[in-house]
Amino acid sequence: MQLTRILAIRHGETAWNRDTRIQGHTDIELNDHGRWQAAQLADALRDEPIAAVYASDLLRAHETAQAVARTRGQAVTSHLGLRERCFGRFEGHTWTELEQRFPDESMAWRKRVPDFAPPGGESLLQLEARVVPTVEELAARHPGEQILIVAHGGVLDILYRAAAHLGLQAPRSWELTNTAINRLLWSPEGLSLVGWADTSHLQNRSSPVLDERHA
């Protein structure tokens, strides 16, 4: 059986990451540090065989993917299924603002209630039902090859849970750092973990490392 290797990457940092604002489907570009992270990622992956580059269509993910693809003379294929979870009216707010303005809804989010959706947004169940089939569909196109997928913290969290056979409400102990290199395998039986949260390519610059908890 031929497996598909997957490099699963969260986009580079944005100004809203730095401010801990919820982004969701709001289309925020990378900040200067995020562009530096994307360049470091491209350099770290320079010797990796990559058959195809896929990304969320949101600018922060697409720009990160382009940094890698450009150095290899490859194109980036956008896929709506790789978008971040839609957070509806939560988008644009900080964690503190949400706790003050929507305490009950904020608590349901923090407790990872699977069928809870912010008004106008998606539930975890809906996100899972979108992300896992999307990634399996893309992986199935490339048996015996390696692909790059650039997406978002919420997407990467779903993929980790699927590969580790963890439920949606299991406490998170794994990092979802901007442009960390995460490695998965896909077969027709599903996803499995190979390596997670490699940030060795980001260690030569003094800046705080943010993960998905920072919006």
Q: Cα–Cα–Cα angle for 199, 204, 209, nearest 5°?
A: 50
Catalytic residue check, 11: yes
Phi/psi at 111 (5° precision): -80, 0
Question: SS3 for 30?
Answer: strand
User: How distant, in Å, are the alpha carbons of 86, 96, 100, 115 from that of 23?
Assistant: 8, 15, 18, 20
Do β-strands 52-55 and 146-151 pair in parallel, antiparallel, or remain unpaired? Answer: parallel
84, 122, 175, 212: which one is catalytic?
84
Catalytic residue check, 48: no
11, 25, 62, 152: which one is catalytic?
11
Q: What single DSSP character describes residue 14?
A: B
Q: Would you name the residues annotated as active-site residues? A: 11, 84
